[in-house]
Amino acid sequence: MGPVATVLVQNGTLRPGDTVVVGSTWGRVRGLINENGERIRRAGPSIPAEIVGLSDVPNAGDYMQAVEDEKMAKQVSEARTFKDRQTRITAGSKQTLAGLFAEMKTGQAVDLNLLVKADGHGSVEALNQSLNKLSTSEVAVKIIHSGVGAISESDIMLASASGALVIGYNVRPDSVVKRLADQEQVDIRMYRVIYHVIEDVRKAMSGLLTPDIEEVEIGRVEVRQVFKITKAGKVAGCYVAEGKVTRDALARLVRDGKVVYEGSIDTLKRFKDDAREVAEGYECGLTLTNYQDIQEGDVIEVYRKEEHVRELA
């Protein structure tokens, strides 16, 4: 159906085929739908209806006007869009969340310009209210534009001109928009949880923004026997029950369901030879870094940590 808007007619009669301007968007009404989901032929004063056929999703509260033809509708729409952008655009360099704290160290107040796009007006309003509350004496959060719908090329150009970050909630840019963002060095952040948006901006404002760290389980090792070897100390004779064990992995020693050690694997051997990894179903000998209290029956969970930008898709 494309962009859909619910309108309440105040004066006159709206019919399919009418050309309308709504805020900075326009379109020819291709259909009118009443509250029961039925198509209707007209909507008079005090009659609510969904209209189909707009070029973009308007903002809640925008006024709709019927005009004579498409040419006039385009002219009015373009004039309003240009005026709106001129009002919003402010001079400034491009920002990233990671680089925000560096600007704060200069001791001057910093403006964090944001462009917010979401999948619905309710989400946009909730994000705007939450983000505006984050402003402090050091960092002023300014939302230069917010709207409903996918992140577009015009959004990227506006963000580039005003040095803004683009926040996308439950919306994603297409490949063309991504390439444009790379060219213009515009930082796009995409989310599916509002709390994550607020958390990232708050951390950036405090200089605490770090990538997400995820534990990825590699394998599970059972300690079958413990050997005491001169100079090497205690060596665990193990059986790889699940996955694999690698020499550069992190290790967590579990005894009776409790974690008694967290660290790394110091040495890994297959028979008397050093090994880089041992697969599931094979036996191996290993030692843990700075830990000697290994006992038969212990379980060693082998894992690695991965850093990644929070995805929002």
For residues 221 and 201, membership in a common domain is answered with no
From residue 173, give the alpha-carbon distance in Å to each of 49, 180, 242, 253, 313. Answer: 30, 10, 40, 44, 11
Indicate which CATH number applies to the domain containing 18: 2.40.30.10
Say what the pTM is. 0.42
How much of the chain, in percent, has pLDDT values that exceed 90? 26
pLDDT, one tens digit per residue, over 127-139 is: 999 998 888 776 7
For residues 67 and 111, membership in a common domain is answered with no
At 221, give phi and psi (nearest 5°): -120, 135
Residues 6+ apart with CB under 8 A from 126: 194
For residues 179 and 230, membership in a common domain is answered with no
Tokens (6 digits) for 131: 């983000």
* Total of domains in the chain: 3
Range list of β-strands (E), 152-274:
165-169, 188-191, 212-229, 233-246, 250-255, 258-270, 273-274
- Within a domain: residue 95? no
> What is the chain's mean pLDDT, rounded?
83
What's the pLDDT score for residue 108? 52
Beta-sheet pairing, 165-169 with 188-191: parallel
Flag whether pLDDT at 105 surpasses 60. Answer: no
pLDDT, one tens digit per residue, over 229-249 is: 877 788 999 999 999 999 989
For residues 194 and 156, membership in a common domain is answered with yes
For residues 106 and 56, membership in a common domain is answered with no
- Within a domain: residue 313? no
- Within a domain: residue 273? yes
For residues 201 and 218, membership in a common domain is answered with no
Flag whether pLDDT at 93 surpasses 50. Answer: no
- Within a domain: residue 49? yes
- Within a domain: residue 90? no
Strand partners, 242: 220
Domain region containing 137:
100-206
Strand partners, 246: 277
Task: Point out the domain boundary residue: 153, 185, 206.
Answer: 206
Residues 125 and 130: their CA atoms lie apart, in Å, by 9
